[in-house]
Amino acid sequence: MEYQPVDHGTTDGDAVGTIVGQWRARLPDLDASPLLILGRIHRLATLCDPLLRPPFAAANLAPGDFDVLAALRRVPPHALSNGDLARATLVTPGAMTKRIDRLTATGLVTRDRAPEDARGRVVMLTADGERLVDRLMAAHMANEAAILSALDSEESQQLAGLLGKLLASVEASG
């Protein structure tokens, strides 16, 4: 078999559109159109992560640490159990324990006995943690707004609604 250069012409103006176009050329009976949505969601997540991470890295937060701090900040009195934090941030309790250990060592959270269960633990945001979340949240929202600036307000609302509908469906089936 002889090498032939790949046609990198885009079908829909992006890398995923190119991939779908290539599949259509090779397997015309295959409906590769789901990639136009799910492939783009995956690609966006991959590309956006390094754009969103710098403020957290500058604050010496490991990936996922801000999620813990933000989850605590969102719910008064800024205290949750390990299990509630794991559910709020969509990670396993074991991963949550590691994050809480890191954040406790930096003084951003404390871990105390639960008042209703001496065996349980409650994680609480410290005053330093609260100040940090508030500062980082402003930077984070500015970064997210910059990423979404290619969409007008109506497009943003429409996309948010459609993604919410898709997410609810996938969550309900899983």
Q: Identify the architecture of domain 53-149 in CATH.
A: Orthogonal Bundle (1.10)
Q: Is the pLDDT of residue 117 over 70?
A: no
What dihedral angle (degrees, nearest 10) is formed by the CA atoms of 85, 86, 88, 90? 160
Q: Is the pLDDT of residue 5 over 90?
A: no
Residue type, 28: P
Q: Where are the domains of the chain?
A: 1-48, 53-149
pLDDT tens string 59-115: 999 989 999 999 999 999 999 998 899 999 999 988 999 999 999 999 999 998 877
pTM of the model: 0.82
Q: Which of 20, 15, 39 is CA-nearest to residue 30?
A: 20
Give the confidence band of 144 by pLDDT, cuts at 50, 70, 90: very high
Q: Which three-class secondary structure state does DSSP give residue 11?
A: coil
